[in-house]
Structure 1
Amino acid sequence: MMIIFRTNLDCDAKRWRLFADIINDMAIFLEIMAPNFPMVFTFILCTSGVLKSIVGVSGGATRAALTQHQARRNNMADVSAKDGSQETLVNLAALLCSLLLVPIVTGRHMLIWTLYIVFTCLHLFANFTAVKGVIMETLNQARLHILLQEYFSTGIVLPPNVVNRREPVLWSTRRKLKIHLGVSLVKMSAQSFNMEAVIDILKVKKYVLWFDRKDSINISLSVTSDFMDQLRSCYHAELLNYMAEGKTVMLPKNIYYGSDASYQEILTGEEGSCSFVEDTFSQFIQDLHSHGWQTDVCLLGSDEWRTNIHPHTDTLHTKNL
């Protein structure tokens, strides 16, 4: 089960929160349906139990992430206490309602399914509205993608409330090129890359990008890389994705190249994208901070592979953190 979730529960807390609600409603659906299929009654109930266990993992973990986000004064205990009290009150109200509804719906299957459909639709709509209303100032892959799509086209950094409204909570981020962060260099060595050049790049930039397939950008990180290096590498990968989509990159404000012709020449090829990143990334970070974004916490969903360069022999050692 943890293989399914990997490291995305913190990064995509809103999406996994809604996922837990959907799976929980599916489990209830199976429990209502089970008496109609006596031959597979046990199998259906076991399936429902498995779904509820997934709900327990994803729901509990994302609740902790959202509680941490809501604890604006480092008061997680107070926020957790209020959340627990609210849940207790809701469960009490649900118990009172069930005492009234059970005698009414007993033996009336059409009424049971009608109420289930109505309440499920209300439940999912309410939770969808709730997660869309959460404004997070930290950067994950989805929010960074939305930010940079606007930044590369207009040179403007969107505020957190605008980006959070656009963030998808029903599906993952869709790009032309998939971005994999924290990939082992073993994959690169299997593709006959110049590893001496890779060592030189990692010494300076602390990350290296390469195309694994036509639709994938892999990012390998140095063991000395920090959150800002991860953000810079994703900035670079998003630029390559933006250019691969055939879109025109707008020159950010406060950056001057003399003429549009020289600017377009800089953006051609891999070296051009590296120059663009070096010239614009610092300004992008300043714009992020001025619009209320936080970069001290990185939720870009990096895998655990890091590359260590031996100081005397310049050999690479890839390890899993």
Structure 2
Amino acid sequence: MSDNPALLLVERDDKKRMRELYYSPEKTLHIVEKKSHREYRSKHQDTKELLTKIFLPAGYPNTVTPDYLLYQILNAAQAFCNSLASLLASRAALEGIGVGDPSATSTGAMLISVLQDIFGRIATIIGAYYLGTRLVPEAKKYRFLADVLNDIAVVVDVFNPVFSAFMFPGARVIGLCTSAALRAVCGVLAGGAKAAITLHFATPRGGVGDVGDLNAKDSSKETVLALLGMLLGSVMIPHITSPWVTYPVLLLLISVHLVINYIAVRGLAIRSPNRHRATIAWLWYRSKDECAPSPQAVASRELIFERPENIRDPTTSLVLGKCHVGSAPLDVMRGPALSQEYLDIFHADKYIVCFNPSHETGHLPIIHICFKEGFTRADELKSWIHAVEICRSIALNQVPIQKGSKAVELEHIRSTFQVVKEKYDHFVDHMKKAGWNFDESHLASGSGPKAVLLNIAQTPSRNIPT
């Protein structure tokens, strides 16, 4: 017998299952599957594992964020309600293009379909132009707004026969084109927001996910839900014929659909800061003894339809001020902002804050952030934090501000800048430890800065052109 020791290899897969391989020259390879205390597999367990592989991403739950499963369950429920409501809308739309009408022609139905397609494509182009750059920073808002537009399109389609019966003759065509345009914009919003949410799910704090696999598994779930919705709808819809039954059922489906969507979107704890989340985080940090909040804590205070320029106190829900990011420097730099003393405050930074203490229609401070050439995402975040600190200090009456008091405005900018300078790095470090991802911050939503400041230099007065 040989004195060579046996070779032992141990493996563990992503499901925490372990196997051991024994090898020695005197024996053949021998694999032993290690059994846990749950060990004896049943058909139920095998089925559960198969469904997990089909509908959940590889490596689940280690390759997705903790909010993934709840969102997918709620998303499945809302998709099922939407598929039933869409069947009611499809039936009404078919009636709108002439199905069941002896006087309707196939050519007329074809022309209406072409007109719907034209309106849909135009709406897609317009929606992408105006909203494309806002979808990632405000993914939660536009994900929910997409479902609102879809439900409005469903209502328009269902009421389309009423339009043709009680309104002017062209109302039927206008209704069909309107619903087509709404669905097209819905597709733009849902597609962009879904991409951002998928990226969020695929970047868990303790691992790395696969965006392609997430999208593929989502498509599988949506396919199954669509099939179930069509099967159930095929049984239900023939019995929902009168308006007195159709409208209550439609109202119920849409209400449930929107409520589930709202809960699902509110439950998303996105780790990349946008303006609203950065505002909540900084105000939390300043009021909680410099303790940084987790993404889940911020998500519980985040508003879905908040305007990006609002700086709102999450505890009181009061708007403290408004801030416009990426303003054209030559349009907004007036008063104290044109003094050398003011500009020297920001000489080492890639941004300048222009501050108006009040507004002609109210008493909220209005802040403009101008960027210098070469600014980065870190500069966007720091400048926004500075704007929030300005509004916070005014709200707390730390420095009384009166319109036209240039010396007080300058001192206020200097004092708040010093606060941000001293605390910003500490804030970012604690936020990262709390689970935030600053590599994907999105502060310049909308079209982004249209102009940047290239140069600041002194010149003799005689060189000023007349």
For this structure pair, what is the TM-score category when the shorter chain's length is used for normalisation? 0.7 to 0.9
2:321 is the counterpart of 1:181: no
8 Å contact from structure 2 (residues 345, 414) kept in 1: no
Aligned match of 1:152: 286
Residues 128-137 or 199-208, more deviating:
199-208
Residue 393 of structure 2 aligns to which amino acid in structure 1?
M
Choose the corresponding residue for 2:212, options 69, 77, 83.
Answer: 77
**Which structure 2 residues correspond to residues 29-48 of structure 1 after superposition, within 5 A?**
29-38=155-164, 39=168, 40-48=171-179
TM-score (norm 1): 0.84
Paired residues, number: 297
Choose the corresponding residue for 2:378, options 221, 224, 228.
Answer: 228
Q: Give distance in 2, aligned partners of 1:293 and 1:24.
A: 32
Once the two structures are TM-superposed, the CA of residue 104 in structure 1 deviates from its matched residue by 0.4
**Which structure 2 residues correspond to residues 274-285 of structure 1 after superposition, within 5 A?**
274-285=417-428
* Unmatched segments (≥5 aa) in structure 2: 1-126, 313-318, 360-364, 400-409, 460-466
- Cα 1:195–1:45 change in 2 (3 A) is farther
TM-score (norm 2): 0.59
**Which structure 2 residues correspond to residues 102-121 of structure 1 after superposition, within 5 A?**
102-106=237-241, 108-121=242-255
Residue 20 of structure 1 aligns to which amino acid in structure 2?
A
**Structure 1 counterpart SS, 2:354:** strand
8 Å contact from structure 1 (residues 16, 59) kept in 2: yes
- Cα 1:226–1:81 change in 2 (3 A) is same
8 Å contact from structure 2 (residues 325, 449) kept in 1: no
Residue 102 of structure 1 aligns to which amino acid in structure 2?
I
- Cα 1:25–1:271 change in 2 (3 A) is same
Residue 305 of structure 1 aligns to which amino acid in structure 2?
K
Q: Give distance in 2, aligned partners of 1:164 and 1:271.
A: 32
- Cα 1:280–1:118 change in 2 (3 A) is same
- The percent of aligned pairs where both chains have the same amino acid is 26
Q: Give distance in 2, aligned partners of 1:277 and 1:121.
A: 45
Q: Give distance in 2, aligned partners of 1:162 and 1:114.
A: 38
Aligned match of 1:291: 434
**Which structure 2 residues correspond to residues 56-135 of structure 1 after superposition, within 5 A?**
56-72=187-203, 73-106=208-241, 108-135=242-269
8 Å contact from structure 2 (residues 380, 444) kept in 1: no
8 Å contact from structure 2 (residues 333, 354) kept in 1: no
**Which structure 2 residues correspond to residues 112-261 of structure 1 after superposition, within 5 A?**
112-155=246-289, 156-172=291-307, 173=310, 174=312, 175-189=319-333, 193-194=337-338, 200-211=344-355, 214=359, 215-246=365-396
Residue 15 of structure 1 aligns to which amino acid in structure 2?
K
8 Å contact from structure 2 (residues 295, 435) kept in 1: yes
Which deviations, in whole Å up to 9, do the C-alpha atoms of 1:54-80 show, x marking residues without a partner? 101101111111111111324111000
Residues 70-79 or 239-248, more deviating:
239-248
- Cα 1:190–1:274 change in 2 (3 A) is closer
Which structure has more relative contact order (CA 8 Å, sep 6+)? It is 1
Residue 188 of structure 1 aligns to which amino acid in structure 2?
V
Residue 147 of structure 1 aligns to which amino acid in structure 2?
A
8 Å contact from structure 1 (residues 223, 306) kept in 2: no
When Rg is computed on C-alpha atoms for both structures, the one with the higher figure is 2
**Structure 2 counterpart SS, 1:11:** coil
RMSD: 2.6
Residue 454 of structure 2 aligns to which amino acid in structure 1?
I
Once the two structures are TM-superposed, the CA of residue 152 in structure 1 deviates from its matched residue by 2.1
**Structure 1 counterpart SS, 2:323:** strand
Q: Give distance in 2, aligned partners of 1:233 and 1:308.
A: 15
**Structure 2 counterpart SS, 1:218:** strand
8 Å contact from structure 1 (residues 158, 291) kept in 2: yes
Once the two structures are TM-superposed, the CA of residue 191 in structure 1 deviates from its matched residue by 6.2
- Cα 1:247–1:140 change in 2 (3 A) is farther
Once the two structures are TM-superposed, the CA of residue 153 in structure 1 deviates from its matched residue by 2.0
Once the two structures are TM-superposed, the CA of residue 203 in structure 1 deviates from its matched residue by 3.8
Which deviations, in whole Å up to 9, do the C-alpha atoms of 1:91-139 show, x marking residues without a partner? 1111112211121012x11111111111111111111111111111110
